Chains A and B, each alone.
Chain A
């Protein structure tokens, strides 16, 4: 019920490609779905987030797609760059809750 399942574990794309990272959740009480980006040796930082009342959110080259009925959401990185190489975590939490549940992470490498 509390899990967030993330795939793939790792991903290699060419510069300009569109990596897609997928997540699935079980608890329908979740109503906030952030993505965090982590560079080597650093702590995670919020990249983009979505609430389930919308099906898509774009911020620059990053897009979250959300499918409430399937309880799935995904991150798309348009025109990926070597500087996007990082580990990406999806997560879920609920309004009024104190905890955020994180996926296992996807290590992305963008080849120059």
Chain B
């Protein structure tokens, strides 16, 4: 199993550009999450999904959108990129069967810089 994969690894965007961060998991997990990590701020939840077709906002959803058309994929869309969106983005997944323990499996991250 590859686990959780994310592409791209790095990206530089200009202000106002848009992009999609890709996330795929091959563990048949129902729950998927997008976090952003800023220095000294921990992991902030952007959006999450409890299954295909079901998404909900997390703590910091403004400026982002998600979709979940399959169990495996959970892309994160940035519209009109702003410097405040410069961050490292992590995708994670969790099994419904392990929901009581809620262990999350993280991807390697995407480092995004908006200039």
Which A residues contact B (CB, under 8 angstroms)?
A: 6, 9, 32, 34, 41-46, 49, 89, 93, 95-100, 102-105
Contacts and interface: CB of A to CB of B under 8 A. Distances in A.
B31 interface: yes
Given A44-B43, A98-B48, A105-B42, A32 B101 contact: yes
Given A44-B43, A99-B45, A102-B43, A49 B101 contact: yes
B90 A104 contact: no
Q: Which of A9, A43, A93 has the most CB of B within 10 A?
A: A43
A31 to B, nearest CB: 9
Given A43-B106, A99-B58, A105 B101 contact: no
Given A32-B102, A46-B104, A49-B103, A104 B40 contact: yes
Interface of B: 4, 31, 35, 40-43, 45, 48, 50, 56, 58, 90, 92, 99-109
Contacts of A96: 99-100
A93 to B, nearest CB: 5
Nearest to A94: B102
B104 A98 contact: no
B55 to A, nearest CB: 11
A89 B43 contact: yes
Contacts of B56: 98
